[in-house]
């Protein structure tokens, strides 16, 4: 009985942390390797064709560290034999919990009659040990499992985080309840509510012990803008430039799209009433 109560308390605490957007979201079970959470295709030049420079953003279920010499061909594979990442595709990490594959020349993905991507992707069974690891425990990914759908539609570029600007609303010289972070996206997004909501439903602060504070709330104020009003006890560092993978306490803070987005809350419109989840990309809080 005691054990059950403990589990309940731990689970409740974990959900509370999620709602608050605390960095603790990245803590996952030790022996479970990182897995793919969702995958987005973005038609970067919006030319309604899959070509060089378009991107596939692979989001994981936790923060990851990757080997420096990671090669697309050694890590990922596409389900359809005629699909291809193209010549010399590149992998970059622009989010603590996602990798971006930039397609090369002669890239090819499968689409349906309405221009939705129907290709699927997975981690190769032969992925080198340690190529992608859980940031907390170092557990290496394993591959060869189920394929993941790639969400996206030709002609549409996925909006990404563009900037996050802190405002000392009461000019107190420090973080106090009521100060704000104005989050701007590169394109229009929707959070599906005119009301305020807990910022942890759409955003995460990846640096250790950073948090939006108790009573923080977020609200969409323009098609490409969400304003977060911080609560009491908020913690993040505005000075310095946030770097992916540098999460020690008091390191320069960044803000990213949450690993688990509540109720499909942060999406963009690809026409025909279809909404696709905004992919991760961390930005510095300035």
- Judge whether 261 and 279 are in contact, CB under 8 Å: no
Binding mask 47-66 for Ca ion (x = CB under 5 A): x---x--x------------
CA angle 242, 225, 270 (to 5 degrees): 105
With 0-12 CB in 10 A as exposed, 13-18 as middle and 19+ as buried, what is 121? Answer: buried
Q: How far is the CB of 168 from Ca ion (least distance, A)?
A: 4
Stretch that binds Ca ion, among 41-49, 69-77, 78-86, 213-221 (CB under 5 A): 41-49
Does 126 contact Ca ion by CB under 5 A? no
Does 179 contact Ca ion by CB under 5 A? yes
Does 170 contact Ca ion by CB under 5 A? yes
Tell me the backbone φ, ψ of residue 213, rounded to 5 degrees: 90, 165
SS3 214: strand
Nearest to 55 by CA among 100, 89, 23: 100
Q: How far is the CB of 80 from Ca ion (least distance, A)?
A: 18
Does 43 contact Ca ion by CB under 5 A? yes
Stretch that binds Ca ion, among 40-48, 61-69, 155-163, 236-244 (CB under 5 A): 40-48
The Cβ of residue 151 has, within 10 Å, a number of other Cβ atoms equal to 19
Question: Whose Cβ is closer to Ca ion: residue 45's or residue 114's?
Answer: 45
Q: How far is the CB of 229 from Ca ion (least distance, A)?
A: 11
Count the residues in the chain: 286
Number of shown-chain residues binding Ca ion (CB under 5 A): 10
Does 172 contact Ca ion by CB under 5 A? yes
Tell me the backbone φ, ψ of residue 123, rounded to 5 degrees: -85, 135
Residues in CB range of 12: below 8 A, 6 or more apart: none
Q: Which two tokens stand for residue 97?
A: 């919990």
Between residue 211 and residue 240, which ones bind Ca ion under the rule CB under 5 A? none
Stretch that binds Ca ion, among 13-21, 129-137, 172-180, 277-285 (CB under 5 A): 172-180
Q: How far is the CB of 116 from Ca ion (least distance, A)?
A: 14
Binding site for Ca ion (CB under 5 A): 43, 45, 47, 51, 54, 168, 170, 172, 176, 179
């Amino acid at each position: 009985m005691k054990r059950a109560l403990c589990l309940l308390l731990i689970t409740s605490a974990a959900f509370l942390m999620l709602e608050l957007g605390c960095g603790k979201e990245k803590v996952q079970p030790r022996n479970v390797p990182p897995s793919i959470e969702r995958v987005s295709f973005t038609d970067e030049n919006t030319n309604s064709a899959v070509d060089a420079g378009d991107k596939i953003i692979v989001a994981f279920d936790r923060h990851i560290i990757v080997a420096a010499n990671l090669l697309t061909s050694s890590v990922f594979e596409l389900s359809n034999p005629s699909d291809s990442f193209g010549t010399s595709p590149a992998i970059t990490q622009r989010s603590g919990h996602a990798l971006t594959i930039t397609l090369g020349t002669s890239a090819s993905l499968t689409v349906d009659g309405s221009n939705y991507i129907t290709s699927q992707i997975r981690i190769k069974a032969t992925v080198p040990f340690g190529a992608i690891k859980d940031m907390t425990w170092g557990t290496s990914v394993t591959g060869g499992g189920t394929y993941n759908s790639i969400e996206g539609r030709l002609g549409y570029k996925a909006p990404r985080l563009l900037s996050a600007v802190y405002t000392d609303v009461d000019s107190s010289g420090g973080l106090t309840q009521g100060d704000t972070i104005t989050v701007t996206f590169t394109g229009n997004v929707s959070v599906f509510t005119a009301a305020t909501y807990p910022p942890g439903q759409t955003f995460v602060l990846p640096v250790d012990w950073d948090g939006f504070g108790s009573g923080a709330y977020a609200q969409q104020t323009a098609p490409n803008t969400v304003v977060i009003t911080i609560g009491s006890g908020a913690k993040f560092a505005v000075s310095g430039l946030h770097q992916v993978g540098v999460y020690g306490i008091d390191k320069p803070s960044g803000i990213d799209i949450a690993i688990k987005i509540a109720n499909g809350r942060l999406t963009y419109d690809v026409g025909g009433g279809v909404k696709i989840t905004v992919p991760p990309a961390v930005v510095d809080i300035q």
